[in-house]
Structure 1
Amino acid sequence: MHHSPEEAKNLLLYRFQHLEGAEKKARENGYKGALFPWESAFSGDEETPEFAAINIKTGKRQKVASALAEHHIVADIAYAVMQYFNATNDAAFMKQYGAKLLRMTAEFWLSRAERLGEKWVIRDVIGPDEYTEHIDNNAYTNYMARYNVAVAAKWNADFAPSCAEFLEKLYLPKPNENGIVPQDDTFLSKPVISLEKYKKEQGKQGILLDYARSEVNEMQILKQADVVMLLYLFPALFDADIMKKNLVFYETRTIHDSSLSKAIHAIIANWCNEKALSYRFFEEACRIDFGDAPHTSDDGIHAASLGAIWLMVINGFAGLTVTQKGLKLNPQLPDKWEKVQFNFVYLGETLHFTLTKRDISIRKSSDTPIHFNIFGKKYIVEKEIHVNLEEVPL
């Protein structure tokens, strides 16, 4: 979106082109709206295999549950639609494609959620943490579902009345007395084991050689960022203290067996002013494809992981994020870095950034003003701006 926006648009058009198939999958599973496949290719059909690894305890193949319950993919697509719009202000896309994608994905959540007393709940799901399956009220899923329905109501006025009760009553897990956002209804009640052995061999899913997946499911063990991913996508909902407490709590329980995990932890660590921890995560994420091990990319590079590393540099170290009011810039460069330079496409224009520990320079080609918030101070950039950080209250 901020490098090749046309490619981002094409990815969303791929979803729109296969909307009919997603509606069919929803109907087949007893839901309304659109249920997109967990994995899909040219046809748009579900490509997730039914079985995968062998159960270490039984010797039998284990079912892959992602296609059955990892339904946050639906809200992820809606989130991507809004990210694209916020980056491009492409109103024509929203009118022709985006609004309908938002509505059909929202209709899925209205049928997927259940009333329980005075609340709506979402049961039997898998969040981003794929070591914790078939649980109720995954925090990431519930917050994303609510966001999905809220933006659908905003972009489809006739649909808004149907969303009101869901938006008012959907259960959203809040920080407990210790400041921890429960990953789901049961995660915090499960036993804790030492993960030191498995963290040393992260990425190899070694824990599944010692425990059956069903056993892992009943312990406080994460494959990858879950609540931490929620913090990344909705930073305005959680203050720095809550972010730090959840980062520490969940990272100690996370093996990082997914290549996507470290970069997201690095971003949150940087936002929490844990610069050394952030840079360690960043370096470890980079080593997945660029490290000393000669065979890490034999079967192909980890493309999504590389994208997450880019996010780490831009959203994390550079502290550049897109808001509804413009761009927010709160850079915190690693101690080892003197300068970072990058291009960033926003509202159809390429911005050129040069950031050091002493100053910020932003150049653009047109005179169209763009609003910036730099360490809480408002700026309007027309052509070029230089900010001396020693003159900005941090």
Structure 2
Amino acid sequence: MDHPRCLLDAAEKLRNDMVDRLSTLVACESAPGSLPHLESCADLLARWGEEALGRPAHRVVVDGLPHLLWPAVGRQRVLLLGHFDTVFPVGTIRSRPFTVRRDVATGPGVCDMKAGIVQMFTALRLIEDTSAVGVLLTCDEESGSGTSRHLIEREARRSGAVLVCEAATPDGNVKVARKGGSVYRLTVGGRAAHAGVEPQRGVNATVEVAHQVLTLGTLGAADSGGTSVTPTLLSAGTTTNTVPEQASLAVDVRAWTRDELERVDHAIRGLVPFLPEATLAVHGGINRYPMSPELAQPLLELTQSIARQLGMAGLVGAYAAGASDGNFTAALGVPTLDGLGAVGGGAHAADEYVCLDRMAERTALLAGLVDRLSTMERFGTQRIEDIA
């Protein structure tokens, strides 16, 4: 039996173990910025990672947040990248516990991306030699990777390729391209006045921010698949009978190209107040540049070759509107393939799910890919596409 099929057989035998570990990991909540919970989750993953790799994690603490790094022993030929924070606040697990119905599991963070972490460590357990493999699990991806970006980029620069274990598409396809993203906060200043007695003396920050929302709506693309400029979090005012003196608006921007991100960035920074005497300040900017499909193509072809040996027909590379830490690594010119985690959907939603019956094949696929990449030294100076 060929090697990929042996990996699949071994992964099938570990399916129940993977489901048990997924239950444990989902129950270990890891809300953004909740240090005690992030540390507890890091403790659990550090044990699993040491078991899978045979070496302890380096706990890299930045601004109090614990990131986990297992550097390769020698030359780092492949880096596995993921995050263990979720978007869900502490206590969500009580109202939506990990649940299995037939071959589908639900629970907070089950798809984004705790099942991917379970599969990652299981895949590493199937590989005989992991000395050329690095693993990085961060804990602030959902809040913009502010403390982990330097670490991600440093490890990517010393790696031959980066495999991101974020979830696959609901159809099971990997991700070769992602939109880039920007995050802004618009702060509006006005002047307070009594809303009933003399509102004319005020400068209404709520009215000003409403004008800005309408202007932002003109900056995106007309079609739903293009550039999006989306006002999100909004706050204004202090009491119901006071003309609001201040308002704050968060803006999310996504685009397929660097030029589009920079076009919108220029337009947002050029916004001016509509109301006389109102002030407007713009904070933030471009967070992640787009992930280009050209960098992923050689890795995609190698992955497709392994998938065919596993009997996984029709694996293709998908374009994903959401960004990931793979955007950072691809922007450095490092070959990057994303979506190598669990098959599921509903990320960030109450109905988030993963397909348990796909976990074994995805684990075998990842194991086969890592094994091939980590032994590339046998091929001398050959490129990835030459060994697919």
Q: Which has the larger radius of gyration?
A: 2
Please identify which structure carries the higher strand content: 2
Please identify which structure carries the higher helix content: 1
- TM-score tier (shorter): under 0.3
Bigger relative contact order, structure 1 or 2 (CA pairs below 8 A, ≥6 apart): 2
